[in-house]
Amino acid sequence: MVVKVYGPAYASPKRVLVCLIEKQVEFETVDVDLFKGEHKEPEFLKLQPFGVLPVIQDGDYTLYESRAIIRYYAEKYRDQGTELLGKTIEERGLVEQWLEVEAYNFQPPIYKLVENILFAPILGVPSDAKAVQESDEKIAKVLDIYEERLSKAKYLAGDFFSLADLSHLAFGHYLVNQTGRGNLVRERKHVSAWWDDISNRPSWKKVLDQHKYPV
């Protein structure tokens, strides 16, 4: 049964796509246009009652929340493709720790930038300059912590690429390439090297080649 992934154009579903490619899991995609409100239509809400992306269907199994999905597939196909969870319980703990850091410290301020710099003009609403400034400051502080960590390890959880790194790709791409904030990464030697490493993985390049960001 081929996995069905909804909303491949957007950042969080791309987190799922790159995981599936790393795990060598076959999938197909279903377009969902957020700007047309398709995520709020009754048929979609049957799959995802909160009306957000992504959602996957795997046979008769439905799952939403991108980090839950990538954890599920990394565990389900543990012996297939790239090992993304670590080989020991201690490594797994670090993977989980940095997944939480990404979710609560890295993504939120970048999402604010995306809202105000990229989405606001499309939606015809004013950008919040104060929110942009605060987001810049938050991201800088977060990346200072990453710089310290990455001065001691090649990847966030250690010397191996994992879900912890993979989960940063979707919104890291926005930060480096589409919001004019690439300097925040490039000014930090170890963060810059880490970003070049993970963003040049064939799996991520394949996602970008096949599924362009909407803005």
Does 71 share its domain with 19?
yes
Confidence class for position 144, pLDDT limits 50, 70, 90: very high
pLDDT number for residue 11: 96
Q: Which of 89, 70, 76 is nearest to 18 (CA)?
A: 70
Does 104 share its domain with 141?
yes
Does 11 share its domain with 48?
yes
**Residues spanned by the domain of 70:** 3-83+206-210
* Range in 47-51, 121-125, 136-140, 169-173 the model is least confident about: 121-125
Does 67 share its domain with 13?
yes
Amino acid at 63: L
| pLDDT tens string 198-214 | 999 999 999 999 999 98
What gap in Å lies between CA 142 and CA 187, rounded to an integer? 13
Does 67 share its domain with 151?
no
178 assigned to some structural domain: yes
Confidence class for position 123, pLDDT limits 50, 70, 90: confident
Does 190 share its domain with 108?
yes
Which 8-state DSSP code applies to residue 125? Answer: -
| Domain CATH for 196 | 1.20.1050.10
215 assigned to some structural domain: no
Using an 8 Å Cβ cutoff, are 117 and 127 in contact?
A: yes
State the virtual CA torsion across 77, 79, 85, 86 in degrees, nearest 10.
Answer: 180
pLDDT number for residue 1: 80
Average pLDDT rounded to a whole number, residues 65-90: 98
pLDDT number for residue 122: 85
| Domain CATH for 32 | 3.40.30.10
Percent of the chain having pLDDT more than 70? 100
What gap in Å lies between CA 20 and CA 70, rounded to an integer? 8
pLDDT number for residue 214: 86
Which 8-state DSSP code applies to residue 78? Answer: T
pLDDT number for residue 55: 98
Furthest C-alpha separation in the chain: 50
Mean of pLDDT over the chain = 96
Residue 139, pLDDT > 80, answer: yes
Does 60 share its domain with 105?
no
Length of the chain (residues): 215
Does 118 share its domain with 169?
yes
Residue 100, pLDDT > 90, answer: yes
**What is the number of structural domains in the chain?**
2
